[in-house]
Structure 1
Amino acid sequence: MSAVTVDAPVGAGTGARGSSNGALLALARFEARRLLTRVPVVVAFVAYAAWIVWHTPGSWDGHPALQEADRDTQAMPMLVGLAVLVSANFAALRPVRHGTEQHLGVLAMPAWRRTAAHALSVVPAALLTAVCVGGQFTWEALKPGAVGHGSPAELAAGPLVVLAAGTIGVLVASLVRSPVAAPLLVVPLLYLLVLGSGSGGADGVSWLAPVVVQSGGDALPSGLLGRPAAWHALYLAGIALCAAFLALLRAGGRNVAVRTGVALTLALAVAGGVLQARGAQPSPELTAARERAVSDPALRCTERGRSTYCAFPEWAPRVGVWAGVVDRVQALAGGTARERRLVVGQRIGAADLVSDAAVPPRSEPGRVTVGTAWGGNRVPEFSSAVAAVLVTGSEKAGGELCDGRMVTLMWLSLSWQDDPMDALRRVRLDDSVSGSAIVLSPTEPLSMTEGQTDVVRRLLEKPADGTGERVKAHWGELTEPGVTTARAAELLGVAGPREADSCE
C-alpha cells in the first residue's frame, strides 16, 4: 500500500491566522459596543460631558493659562476609568455569571484570545475620553484671554488612566473568577482612582498615583513647572499594557509574543516609574531658573502709551489688557500723576512654587506689579495697585497707607468699572461693602477702615463725572500725607465718617 501525500494549499496557515485575528477583532468590536452602552459607563460619560459644559465657561475667569488647563483635564477621567474598570470586569466574567464557562471550551477561539478581545474592547472608551479631553482643552485654548502652552503628555494622562483601569479590570477577572469580584473592587478602586490622586508632586512616591495635583499660587511659566509628565504618561501606558499581557498570560497565552509582551511592558512601567520619580526632584538648573524668575525674571518689555509693560513671554498677549486698565485709572487722576510714566512688571511668588506667599511690594517709584492670573477679582486688585502707586508714589508706600488718601485711591480703582459696588465687594477679602476690611492687591494687601469704606461707598453711588472734577481740582490736598478721611469727604462733596478713623 502506498501513501498518498497531499500538499497543503499555499497560504493556508496564513489564512487561518488571518481568520483567527479577524474573529478576535470582531469579538473586540462587539465587546466594545457593549462596554460603551453599559449603564455605569454611560452615566460616567454623561457626567463627564455635563461637568465640562458647566465648568469650562467660567474657569479661570475666562483667562486660562494653558499649562494649567491641560492638568485640569485629568480629574474627571478617573471617574470614567472606574466605570470602565468595573464594566470590563463584568464583561470578562460574563461566562461565570451565566454559568456558560464550561461550554466555551468547545470554541475554536482559545480563552486567552477571548481575553485579548476584552482587553482591546476598552480602547474605544479611552479614545472617547481623549475626545472629551481634547474638546475641553480646545474650548479653553479658544478663549480670547488664553495664554501659555499645553503639554501633550499632560493631556494624555486622562485617556491613559481609562485605558489602564479597563485592562486592570480584565486582569482582575482572569485572577478572580467570581461574579462578586467587581462589587468588592468598587471601594478600594474608588479610593485609588478618585481619592488617591497624588498631591504636591515634590516626591517620587506621589507620582505613582494616576493623577498628580500640584497646589500652589497662580499660574507659572511652562519652563518652571518641572513636572515629569512625559515619564508619567510612559508609566501609565506601561501599566495599561502590562495588565493586558498579564491577563493573556493568566488566561493561557503561553506563546513567545505574550511572554515577551509581559517582560517589555513591565520594563516600560518600571522605567516610567523610576524616571518620573527622578524627574519629580527639581534639577539644579530648574532650581536656579526658579530663583531667577522670582528675583530677576527675564521679561519681555513693551511700550504702550506713556508706560512700559514687562511680562513673561507667554503672557505678552495680555499687555494690551493691562494697558487698558492703567489708562483708565490714570485718566481719573490729577496733577502730575495723570502723566506719570509707570513700569508694570509681572512677578511670581515663592521660588518653591508650592507656597502661596505674597509677592513683596516694590519700593521704587512708579513700579506696579501684576500677577499671572487675570479676570474676575484680579482686575480690581490690579487697578488698586495702580491707584496706590499714583496716589502714594510706590507699592510699599501704598501698603502702609492709613489716612484719608485711601478714599481717593479706592475711587480711582473702582469708579471706572462696569459695576463699581460689585468691584468694591470683590476686591475686599470679606466680600463686604461696609465696615473695615482688607483690600487685596497683587502684592501685600491694603487696609480700609470703616469710615473710609462709608465714604468710598457714597462716592461710588454718585455720578463719576462730578466726583472726577473734584478729584482733579483738589488732587494735591487729597494725596497729601496725613489728610483725614473727613477732609477727603468734604473735598469730594459727600458726608464724612461718623467718627475719626482709628489709624488717623
Structure 2
Amino acid sequence: MSTVLETPARAVEPAHPPRSWAAVFALARFEARELRMTIPLFGLSILYVAWIVWDTTQRQGDYPILQDVDRATPGMPLLIGLAVMLGVNRAVLRSRRCDTDRHFDVLVVEPWRRTVAHALSIVPAVLFTAVCVLVQFIWAALKPGAAGHGSPAELAVGPLTVLLFGAAGVLLARLFRSVFAAPVILVLLVFGMLFVAPSSGSNWRSWLGPVVTESGSNPLPSDLLERPAAWHALYLVGLGLTLAVLAVLVSGGRTRVVKAAIAGSVALTVVGVIGQSAGTPAGSTPARDRATNAPEKVQSCLKRGGSTYCAFPEWTGRTADWAEVVDRVQNLAGGSAGGERLTVRQRIDATYGLTSDTLISPSTTPGQVTVGTVWGGNRVPEFAAAVASVLVAGNEKAGSAVCDARMVTIMWLALGGESDPMTALRNVRLDDSVSGSAIVLSPTESMSMSAEQTRIVVELLKKPRYDVAGKVKAKWTELTSPKTSTARVAELLGVPAADKSAAKAEADGDSCAE
C-alpha cells in the first residue's frame, strides 16, 4: 500500500510587480518623438531657430535693452504652443481615429495613466522653447552695447505658454472626442488674443491671457516697468498644471495624489490671479515721476574730456559712445564752441509707463544736450544733430527753433565727421531723402531744413572734411549769426550760388516759411 503525498498547488505570481509607471514613461518618450516630427511643430521649430539667428545678428541690435529683450521672447513660443496644442490633441485621439480604443482594455496602463504620458510628452517641447529663449536673451546680453537687466519671470512666459497650450490640447481631447474641437478652439483663441482681449497691461483682464505685450517709443529703466511678471508666471504655472491634472481626472484618475495635485494647482492659479490683478500702473508713480521730472536725483554722472555725461545706472556704460559723438562734433566747431563744457543728460518720459509716447520737451539749460535710452542706427546722427544745435544756438529750445541759414552749420557739424555722411543725412531726416526740404529728427523736438539748405549741406559733405572745417572755424561768428543769409553762408563755405528761383525762396535768409 503506497501513500501519495499531495502538495497544495501555489498560486502563480509574476516574478516582478507590473511596472506600469515604466510603461507610462516609455509611452511619453514615444509620443514626444511623434509630436516633435509633426509638420507644424517641426516647421515652426526650424523657423524659430532661423529667426533667432537672423534677429540677433542684425546691426541695429548692437545696443539691446535687456528689459525689452525679455518681453519680446514670448512671440514665437506662442506659435510653438499652438502647434503643440494641435499635435498633442491629435495624438490623444489617434486611438479613436484608428479604432483601437478597445484594445487598450487589455493593457496594464489605465486610461488616466496614458493621459499622464501624453501630458509628459509636452515637456521636451517646453524645454526646447526654454533653451531657445535663453539663447536669444544670452546672445543679446553678451553684446558689448547691451544695457539693462532681464527678468527671469518674463523669460519664463514663453516656455510656460507652450506648457499651457499643450495641457489644453490634452484636456480638449479628453472632453471632446472630435478632431475638429482643437482647431475650432485654436481659431477662437487667436481671434480673442488679436481682437477681443484688451491690449493695455494696466487692465487686469489682459493679464488673464498668456502673453501681455506693452511697448512704447523709448525703453524705460527696469525698475520703472512695475509689471507683475512673477505673479503672471506663477499664474501660468498653476493654470497649465490645472488643465493637465483635469485631463487626468476626466480620464478616470481618482487617486489621492491626483486630487491633491488638482487642489494645489488651482491654489497656485488663484494666488497668481490675485497677485497680478493690479496689472501695470496706468499712470505716474513716485519713481516714474522722479525719473521724468528730476532725473538728476537718480542718475550717475561721469566726466569725459571737458563734458559731463549723466545717465541712469543701467546706461552708464554707454557714456563712452556719447562722448565719441560729442568730441567728433566739437572738433569741427569754431570759436568757444570747440571747447564748450557740455552736459549730456539722459532723459525719458515715464509718466504713462511703457505705453508713454510723449515727445520730450527740449531743455532751456545752456549747454545741456538730451540723449535717449535707445542707441545705434539712426539715433547716432540724431544725437549729433542735437549736440550741434546746442553748440550753435546755446540750448536745445533755441536750437529746435532754428529755421534759418544756421541749419547749414548745424547739419555739417553733425554729419561732417561721419564715415558715411550721406547715409547719415538720409537717416536723420524724416523722409529719408537727401534733397528738398525735410524735418530733421533729434532726441527732443525736430528741426526744419529747407531745400536750399539741403543742397548746400550735400555739397559740403562731398568736399574734403579738412577744407570745410577750416572755413567753418575761420568764419564761425558769421556762420552762427541768425542775421546771415543762406546765400551768404554758401559763399563763405565755397558752395556755388543757387539759381534765381531758389535764391528768391531763401530771400533774407528766411527758410521758416518752407
Q: Which TM-score band applies after superposition, normalised by the shorter structure?
A: over 0.9
Q: Unaligned stretches of 5+ in structure 2?
A: 1-6
Partner Cα separation in structure 2 for residue 247 and residue 191 of structure 1: 25
Is structure 2 residue 219 aligned with structure 1 residue 219? yes
SS class of match (1:308): strand
* Equivalent position of 2:327 in the other structure: 327
Deviation at 1:185, TM superposition (A): 3.4
2:414 maps to 1:413: yes
In the alignment, is the contact (CA less than 8 A) between 1:198 and 1:208 conserved in 2?
A: no
Q: Would the alpha carbon gap of residues 48 and 192 (structure 1) be closer, same or farther in structure 2, given more than 3 Å must change?
A: farther
Find the counterpart in structure 1 of residue 456 from structure 2.
455
1:456 Cα deviation from its structure 2 partner: 0.8
Change (3 A) 1:6 1:342: farther
Identity of aligned residues (%): 54
Distance 1:461 1:299 in 2: 40
**Greater Cα shift, 183-192 or 232-241:** 183-192
Q: Please state whether the residue corresponding to 1:21 is helix, strand or coil.
A: helix
Contact 2:328 2:417 in 1 (8 A): yes
- Residue of structure 2 equivalent to 1:437: 438
The change in CA–CA distance for 1:355 and 1:496 in structure 2 (over 3 A counts) is: farther
The 1:410/1:389 distance shift into structure 2, 3 A limit, reads same
Kindly state the Cα deviation for residue 202 of structure 1 after the two structures are TM-superposed: 1.1
Match of 1:176 in 2: 176
Mark the CA change 1:21 to 1:196 in structure 2 (over 3 Å): closer, same or farther.
farther
Contact 1:197 1:211 in 2 (8 A): no
| Residue in 2 that maps onto 1:296 | 294
For 1:337, the equivalent position in structure 2 comes to 337
When normalised by structure 2's length, the TM-score is 0.92
Q: TM-score if structure 1 supplies the norm length?
A: 0.94
Number of the residue aligned with 2:208 = 208
Give the whole-Å Cα distance in 2 for the aligned partners of 1:4 and 1:364.
Answer: 106
Matched position secondary structure for 1:179 = coil
Aligned residue type for 1:294: T
Q: In the aligned structure 2, how far is the partner of 1:421 from the partner of 1:170?
A: 58
Conserved 8 A contact 2:207-2:279: no
Partner of 1:365: 366
Aligned ranges for residues 152-301 of structure 1 at < 5 Å?
152-191=152-191, 199-281=199-281, 287-297=285-295, 298-301=298-301
Specify whether residues 183 and 212 from structure 1 end up closer, same or farther in structure 2 by C-alpha distance, changes over 3 A only.
closer
Summarize the Cα distance change of 1:7–1:150 in structure 2 as closer, same or farther, 3 Å threshold: farther
In structure 2, the partner of 1:131 is: 131
Which residue identity is paired with 2:337? Answer: A
Aligned equivalents of 1:470 and 1:226: distance in 2? 52
Q: What residue in structure 1 maps to residue 486 of structure 2?
A: 485
- Deviation for aligned residue 1:6: 8.7
Separation in 2, partners of 1:316, 1:227: 24
* Aligned-partner Cα distance in 2 for 1:403–1:451: 11
1:67 counterpart letter in structure 2: Q
2:504 matched to 1:503? no
Contact 1:439 1:448 in 2 (8 A): yes
Q: Which residue of 2 aligns with 1:68?
A: 68
Report the AA paired with residue 129 of structure 1: T
- Separation in 1 of the partners of 2:24 and 2:346? 58
Paired residues of 2:220 and 2:350 also in contact (CA < 8 A): no
Q: 1:181 deviation in Å?
A: 2.6
CA drift at 1:186: 3.8
Return the letter of the residue paired with 2:54.
W
- Tell me, yes or no, if the aligned pair for 1:199 and 1:215 is still in contact at 8 Å: no
In 1, are the aligned partners of 2:429 and 2:439 still within 8 Å (CA)? yes
Structure 2 CA distance for aligned equivalents of residues 105 and 193 of structure 1: 41
Aligned position for 1:469: 470
Q: Would you say 1:147 and 2:147 are equivalent positions?
A: yes
Paired residues of 1:154 and 1:233 also in contact (CA < 8 A) = yes
Deviation string, structure 1 residues 386-419 (Cα, Å, up to 9, x no partner): 0001111110110111211110000000011111
Following superposition, which runs of at least 4 residues in structure 1 exceed 4 angstroms of deviation?
3-9, 192-198
State the match for 2:50 in structure 1.
50
Q: Does residue 307 of the first structure (1) align with residue 307 of the second (2)?
A: yes
Shift of 1:322: 0.4
CA contact (8 A) 2:56 2:136 kept: yes
Separation in structure 2 between the aligned mates of residue 426 and residue 261 of structure 1, nearest angstrom: 57
Conservation of the 8 A alpha-carbon contact between 1:221 and 1:312: yes
> CA 1:74/1:60 → structure 2, altered by over 3 Å: closer, same or farther?
farther
Q: Distance in 2 between matches of 1:70 and 1:271?
A: 24
- Opposite residue 370 of structure 1, the aligned amino acid is V
Secondary structure of the equivalent of 1:411?
Answer: helix
* In 2, Cα distance between equivalents of 1:42 and 1:195: 28
Cα offset for 1:107? 1.0
> Could you list the per-position Cα deviations for residues 331-388 of structure 1 after superposition, in whole angstroms to 9, with x for gaps in the alignment?
0001110110000000002411222111111111100000000000000000000000
Residue aligned with 2:344, SS: strand
Match of 2:41 in 1: 41
1:137-194 alpha-carbon deviations (Å, 9 max, x no partner): 1111111111111110010000000011111100000000123333433422443567
Give the whole-Å Cα distance in 1 for the aligned partners of 2:25 and 2:192.
31
Partners of 1:296 and 1:46 in 2: CA distance:
48
SS of 2:331 mapped into structure 1: helix
Structure 1 pair 496/395, CA: closer, same or farther in 2 (3 Å)? farther
CA contact (8 A) 1:193 1:210 kept: no
Question: In terms of mean alpha carbon deviation, does 451-460 or 312-321 score higher?
Answer: 451-460
| AA of the residue aligned to 1:291 | D
Shift of 1:496: 3.6
Contact 2:291–2:350 (8 Å) recurs in 1: no
Check conservation: 1:78, 1:193, Cα contact below 8 A. Answer: no
Q: Is the 8 A contact 1:399 1:445 kept in 2?
A: yes
1:158–1:193 CA distance, 2 compared to 1 (3 A): farther
Alignment partners' CA distance in 1, 2:161 and 2:193: 9
CA contact (8 A) 1:410 1:456 kept: yes
Rounded Cα–Cα distance in structure 2 between residues aligned with 1:193 and 1:257 = 34
Deviations 1:188-247 (A, max 9, x none): 244356777763211111111211111212111000001111111111111110010000
Q: CA deviation at 1:5?
A: 12
Residue of structure 1 in register with 2:84 after alignment: 84
Residues 197 and 213 in structure 1, CA contact (< 8 A), matched pair in contact too = no
Q: CA deviation at 1:281?
A: 3.5
Q: Would you say the 8 A contact 1:96–1:178 is kept in 2?
A: no
Residues 70, 150 of structure 2: 8 Å contact kept: yes
Cα pair 1:163 1:240 within 8 Å, conserved: yes
Task: Specify the code of the residue in structure 1 equivalent to 2:145.
Answer: G
CA separation of 1:261 and 1:389: change in aligned 2, threshold 3 A = same
Q: Please say if residues 404 and 511 of structure 2, whose CA atoms lie closer than 8 Å, have aligned partners that are also in contact.
A: no
RMSD: 2.2
- Aligned pair count? 496
Superposition deviation, residue 52 in structure 1: 1.3
SS at match of 1:213: coil
Once residues 335 and 281 of structure 2 are traced to their aligned partners in structure 1, the CA distance between those partners, rounded to angstroms, is 53
Contact 1:202 1:280 in 2 (8 A): yes
- Secondary structure at the aligned position of 1:199 is classed as coil
